[in-house]
Amino acid sequence: MPELIPEPRYARFARDAGTCVLDDPLLDVGPGAEGTARWLRREVGAATGWELPAPAAGESYGERAVIRLTLRPEPATSAGAESYELHVTQRRVLLEGADPAGLFYAAQTLRQLLGPEACRRAPTAPGRGWRLPVGGVQDGPRFGWRGMMLDVARHFMPKDGVLRYIDLLAAHKLNVLHLHLTDDQGWRVEIKRHPRLTEVGAWRPRSRWGHRASPLWNQTPHGGFYTQDDVREIVAYAAERHVRVVPEIDLPGHSQAAIAAYPELGNTDVVDTAALEVWDDWGINENVLAPTETVLRFYEGVFEELLELFPADVSPFVHVGGDECPKGQWRASAVAQERIRELGVDGEDGLQSWFIRHFDGWLAERGRRLVGWDEILEGGLAPGAAVSSWRGYAGGIAAAEAGHDVVMCPEQQVYLDHRQAGGAEEPMPIGYVRSLEDVYRFEPVPPKLSAEAAAHVLGAQANVWTEVMENQARVDYQVFPRLAAFAEVVWSRLPEPAERDYAGFEARMDAHYRRLDALGVDYRPPGGPLPWQRRPGVLGRPIEGEPPNV
């Protein structure tokens, strides 16, 4: 059986059926399959040296090998959206998709079947014969939301790195990239009507090196941002690979970078906001947005530009954060207290809910859906809002039972900044040990959910917070190989966690490590970190024991 990841729903390749030899095959492209054809010519063509020409009009295939791409919704509808079939005979390869996304995933499976060398950017053995096992695959995803959140606010990832991660998500049949674009430590997207958000807010003078308990500092100024054309490119690049990009603009907490750029956004009657800089430390920051109409109008302007950059057909959801908002400044602020009285809300917690409900309605009027961290449940939500359940399963359970859609991303299970092993050599160890096997046994749908509520679980995402990930190599180390296990969890229809065949998954990972090598991924090896992947003497915050199932 070929070593495919994620594991397909059905695959059969008979040992005695022979192989399909592909020497510069033709590419027969049916209507609606042009996007996948472009990807095959560009990516697989680069690795194999194939030109993949189209057959001439009326040309008989003869003895020449052919890859045929077709959309055929009728037979594939039983498997649902994004499903596909792949059939290999002695000289023919047929890829059928229920929709363009399904056809694209069929092409990803084809690349895996060709072997790790098909993941390279140029042929390593020009003129070699490429072989496929004869057989077939029928496949489709378990969940419609299969995502990864990438925090580019704490440590900026340049545009090319984001494009690279889109390719890596697509290679694992993941279809959502949640970009955490703003936080106390940086504002990463150009807003033309508020230029100081990036002129000032995108840069900090230094960074804490390690966890916030570490006494060490990196004194090199850090920053960067995406221009609006950068964002358009990222969104278009993702759409070609059937990846939706969910932008996050954090409010009302996690906002010091914005306040440093525009001091009037903060609680000026209790804090000298003009003296604030972009924060250079990690943790929960006390400087939050003021609950004023001026602040609402400012952020409405931000979202107006954001919606133009993230079209609704690609990015129907907009994330507003809504988490970890300290209330001390509001308690001390006469302006905030008067606002509480005017609105008739339930104290400072009611102010936070007021912020979220305002943008919930504002986005809904423009055809978008708000999604936020599970704190947004406090105070009630409009019917269309969705919840990212991060503090455990409880928020997601409450939201789903109340009829809200949910994305499961509990920190105890799928926060990939958490350490991968308990050894002293893990670099800047954060949180609980979440090994490859632990992630493989993650279950997005809690058993206590009713069937009706379980239908509100859109899927899951793995979250990648980058406080202690200073560059792409560190992100790779934390994300891989665990993202491969996560991808199988959200794509494949696996047994209950305790019954999953982890040994079989590990065996299939042997080939997948070679694919990651070919793709240039700096993953954590099964035997532990390599010498240059370690960070000796830099403090983290390890938590011992099993994580609570909350």
456 catalytic, yes or no?
Answer: no
Is residue 323 within 8 A of residue 372, CB to CB? The reply is yes
End-to-end CA distance of the chain: 38
**Cα dist. 550→391, 394, 413 in Å?**
8, 6, 10
Long-range contacts of 490-494 (CB under 8 A, 24+ apart): 490/141, 490/142, 490/143, 490/145, 490/146, 490/174, 490/444, 490/459, 490/460, 491/6, 491/141, 491/142, 491/143, 491/146, 491/173, 492/6, 492/7, 492/8, 492/9, 492/142, 493/9, 493/142, 494/7
Is residue 391 within 8 A of residue 550, CB to CB? The reply is yes
What number of residues does the chain have? 550
CA distance 493 to 515: 23
**Cα dist. 293→225, 264, 297, 355, 411 in Å?**
27, 12, 6, 10, 34
Q: Identify the active-site residue in 155, 211, 242, 254.
A: 254
Residue written as token pair 């970890």: 324
Q: Is the peptide bond before 252 cis (omega within 30 degrees of 0)?
A: yes
**Structure-block tokens of residue 539:** 């403090």
CA distance 142 to 115: 25
Q: Identify the active-site residue in 324, 378, 437, 517.
A: 324
Is residue 187 within 8 A of residue 248, CB to CB? The reply is no
Half-sphere exposure of 69 (CA within 13 A, CB side): 32
Single-letter amino acid code for the residue at 413? Q
183 catalytic, yes or no?
Answer: yes
Q: What angle do CA 247, 249, 250 make, to 5 degrees?
A: 135
324 catalytic, yes or no?
Answer: yes
Q: Identify the active-site residue in 28, 82, 183, 405.
A: 183
Residue written as token pair 């609950």: 291
DSSP-derived 3-state class of residue 158: coil
Single-letter amino acid code for the residue at 366? R
The per-residue DSSP string of 346-366 comes to: SHHHHHHHHHHHHHHHHHHHT
> Minimal CA–CA distance to 106: which of 78, 131, 76?
76
Q: Which are the catalytic amino acids?
A: 183, 254, 324
